[in-house]
Every structure is written in structure tokens, then in C-alpha cells.
Amino acid sequence: MSDDLQVRWWSLEAKLVERFGKKPDMETLLFLIGIQEFGQIKPKFSKEQKQELMHVAVCSLLTPSGYYTFEGKDKDGWPHFKQLKQMPVMNPIEQENFLKDHVLLYFEEHGF
């Protein structure tokens, strides 16, 4: 991970700890972004809905980079995306850094 990415990531983590009282892992961040993009908070999400929320988050995160495009919401309010290009082949560390960079961009764009 580049030093700049690491410093920016630690800064985001510190803000999230300040806001929520603990450091969220990547899965939790994707879940929170998914809820934000879904736009509805429910008392309880099923396991399938949680997975779908994380998928919505990944699609939302990668839309600005041209990997997905937003197609609209269904009758229940779930966002749907179309994949425009394949993800590059990356090892697990590269994948994590790629996703971290997009999470940071998302939070910056949303004024956090």
C-alpha cells in the first residue's frame, strides 16, 4: 500500500472510530455504504439482504471508475447496476487497496 493511501485510510478509520466508537472492518464499511445507497434503514436485514447491500456498495464504489453504471431502482427501492468492464486481475492485497482507494473517494465525495 502506498504511504499516501495508508495515511488517508488511517485518517478515515480515526474519523469512523470517533463517530461510531469502534473501528469498522471492510465488510462493515460496505454494509454501511450499501445502506446509504439503498436509502432505507430497516430494523433487521436478512443475510441475503446484507449480501445484496454489500454488492450495491461495491457497484456504487466502482461506478465512478467506469466498472459499473447505475440502471435504476426496482419497485422495492433496490438499486441495480450494469457491469461495463471486467475488474483487473489482482492479488488479494491489490484488491483490498483498490477497494480502499474507492472507499476513500466515496467518503470524500460525500463530505466525510
Confidence bin at 3 (pLDDT 50/70/90): confident
Cα(48)–Cα(50) distance, integer angstroms: 5
Give the domain extent around 68.
3-109
- DSSP-derived letter for residue 40 is -
Instruction: Give the tens place of pLDDT for each residue, 69-101.
Output: 999 999 999 999 999 999 999 999 999 999 999
34, 48, 71 from 45: Cα distances, Å:
12, 8, 23
Domain total in the chain: 1
% of the chain at pLDDT higher than 90: 88
Please tell me the predicted confidence (pLDDT) of residue 50: 95
Q: What is the pTM of this model?
A: 0.89
Q: Mean pLDDT, to the nearest integer, of 66-71?
A: 97
